[in-house]
Structure 1
């Protein structure tokens, strides 16, 4: 049914050439508007697990090349996007690799992680007015299908995506993807995805208010809906209050529930964050709540080749209280206090600091109720502002996560450290 709706709305998008915007009329040409970029990334994640669980860590060096052409001139513009990825394993430890949440290099049948991996992809794109149709390998960023780029290499998906911006402030998306490339493995369908249909859009009602609605259907797994409302209230020249609401509803397919031994099939999760910004300081208060009868809580991401996973992208969790823990267990309620500081006001442009404390309670598992977890998150980030290393960024991130014994079926305690060095190079 959703697939049929996507086809209908795609026709509507492509026929809207008389609307306000017309990006294709300003096309500069296939070569003239093309770009080639390379991102060099050195990434390290260490997890010091507690309660007798073995520690895990992975370290790697990656090169991520992306090419994006311009569109040919004329009524219908044609272009190409492509990427090439390479990663070198700098740790190569059979004992320390293999944590699901790190996943730099997938372990093979021998039990050893890969020494290196490489892959690439390409997509052809067509533009009519301000509507673009892209077919091939892509990295979608939608609330119901958002690729993971928070590890060493990014995920990618193969399929079709239509993006329409015919009306000022309105962005519409419709797509169907039939393969997923795991971030830690080679191959176009290394994630085992059958198919996922996506549909939705966002609208900027005023300069201060924006809203979005999206839906997805992961074949034989689940159906998901998402809603967002974001309002920015200007208070003074350098002061503002931002209110951000995000919510998901997921319904698991009956066959998926039976095959994976899941209890229940329904989950609703939402978060509301209020951020007060004044000069270089920002203060955040957030509440997040999960309800429903599914013992998975809010299900997202992972790979269908791994039992009990979804396959809709590792960043498909547009919620306030997602750090190391996502605070997304069955019946969980969580609260956050956060603070951010921009050091440019103190003569150090490019340096920022963020800290957050999140506490969750009321966690339900198959054996207990009323479990708790808490996390302290810290992050320093510095971006070089000028010189040969301009735009090079260094990110140091740590989390201290403690989970009660009642919640051990859902999550595990530990200390996490992440060190990421990213150096983007614009070739042309």
Structure 2
């Protein structure tokens, strides 16, 4: 799961629009060293999850090591990324690299499994874990071909970054920005390294082909179409439309529509199954306040599945802090409120509250199954001084569900996140 996918999509489109230009990026290259950057993100994450019906974190554990239904871990992560510039000339060459380091600050056999750190056969988290990777890249005009270890953020193949360290993948990605406002992507990836593992192919992914494009028609209207084929597992199609309507001063109305169509492979699922899931969010902004309503609906032979194609591959409005509301036939609604305190003299401080209710799900042969989730969040970003851009965030989630969803679906989730980005080059 990832949080605020809708906002991420809008920001990504906006960022892409400002970067795309008719002029050749390669012709403006200053050189391999001159355009290089080195950044380090320090992430301190504490998380605890209290399962009210005796659930556990077996998704990330070797066995059920939390019989009391409680997980609690604290870790320090360092995410370093190096991006070289491109050599000058008609064809430019460069390299990208990353280094990841995770340190256990507090955990125990009876509490492990939620922070997503590697665990031994005794159920204890490792004291530290690390990973490094690199990729080579070639640029002609505004077209870049990259091969090697990398992070991806495509709606049909998105590596997850919701815990201490991010997922990474290995493969080839072609990105074309030759027409202003239009970005075309095509790639093939052959391995996925999960967040809680250091093995390059811990996700056991055979291969995935991805392709698609996003286009900004105007500053207020954009659309995207993507597709993927995860070998011997499923095929997905995705579409998005985002429209921003300016109203009076400091007022606007934004609409964001996302839809996935998945066809599951008979070889993996025993029969040919399908799923269609879509969400529509409407956000009204008035000065410091933003009010959002969202509706999401799943239909077909089974629920929407993801993870084998990247833990972040669910760009839907009701994919929130803990749950995704993506079960078979599930219908869900969300009401959300955001406030930016800069208007009231406290720049960098913001608050968010939302409530999501899901109904009519089909789970384990039962129909009409329901659940709900409530999220609260407070965040502060230092605006100036030595600690500029240091962010502190507190997140809390409460989940309640019918028994059919299982013992791990009634819980309280608390996270404390401190991040500090440091630019070296």
TM-score by length of 1: 0.89
Partner residue of 2:65? none
| Distance in 1 of aligned mates of 2:193 and 2:133 | 10
Are the counterparts in 1 of residues 80 and 99 from structure 2 also a CA contact under 8 Å? yes
1:334 alignment counterpart: 332
1:169-318 equivalence runs, <5 A: 169-258=181-270, 265-294=273-302, 297-301=303-307, 311-318=308-315
CA contact (8 A) 2:216 2:222 kept: yes
Structure 1 Cα separation of the partners of residues 247 and 22 of structure 2: 32
Once the two structures are superposed, what CA deviation does each residue of 1:172-231 show, in whole Å capped at 9, x if it has no partner?
000001011121121221221111110001000112110000001111111011000000
Residue number in structure 1 paired with 2:168: 156
Q: Distance between the aligned counterparts of 1:131 and 1:339, measured in 2?
A: 40
Offset, 1:91: 2.0
Superposed CA offset, 1:258-299 (max 9, x none): 3xxxx76211100000000000000001000000012xx110
Aligned mate of 1:391, from 383, 389, 392: 389
The residue that corresponds to 1:76 in the other structure is 91
RMSD, matched Cα = 1.4
**Alignment correspondent of 2:7:** none
Equivalences for residues 393-408 of structure 1 within 5 A: 393-408=391-406
Answer yes or no: is the 8 Å Cα contact 2:265–2:272 preserved in 1: no
CA–CA distance in structure 2, aligned partners of residues 342 and 131 of structure 1: 38
Partner SS, residue 367 of structure 2: coil
CA contact (8 A) 2:146 2:172 kept: yes
For 2:102, the equivalent position in structure 1 comes to 87
Q: How many residues align?
A: 391
| Cα distance in 2 for residues equivalent to 1:44 and 1:300 | 25
Distance in 1, Cα, partners of 2:348 & 2:47: 23
1:49 maps to: 51
How much has 1:108 moved relative to structure 2?
2.6
Three-state SS of the structure 1 residue aligned to 2:284 is strand
Q: Which has the higher contact order (CA 8 A, sep 6+)?
A: 2
Provide the rounded CA distance (Å) in 1 between the counterparts of 2:38 and 2:404: 51
Distance 2:115 2:260 in 1: 26
Contact 1:48–1:55 (CA<8 Å) still a contact in 2?
yes
Flag structure 1 segments of 5+ consecutive residues without an equivalent: 1-18, 302-310
Q: What's the TM-score, normalizing by structure 2?
A: 0.90
* d(CA) in 2 for partners of 1:114, 1:363: 38
Q: Distance in 1 between matches of 2:176 and 2:358?
A: 39
In structure 1, what is the Cα distance between the partners aligned to 2:380 and 2:421? 14
In the alignment, the residues of structure 2 paired with residue 126 and residue 138 of structure 1 have an alpha-carbon distance, to the nearest angstrom, of 15
The match for 1:353 is: 351
2:419 maps to which of 412, 419, 422: 422
SS across alignment from 2:409: coil
Q: Whole-Å Cα distance in 1 between the matches of residues 216 and 54 of structure 2? A: 50
Q: Quote how far apart the aligned CAs of 1:59 are.
A: 1.4
Query: Which residue matches 2:131?
Result: 119
Structure 1 distance, partners of 2:210, 2:110, is 39
Change over 3 Å in CA distance of 1:97–1:264 after alignment to 2? farther
State the Cα deviation string for residues 374-399 of structure 1 (Å, max 9, x = none).
11111111110011111010110011
| Aligned twin of 1:34 | 36
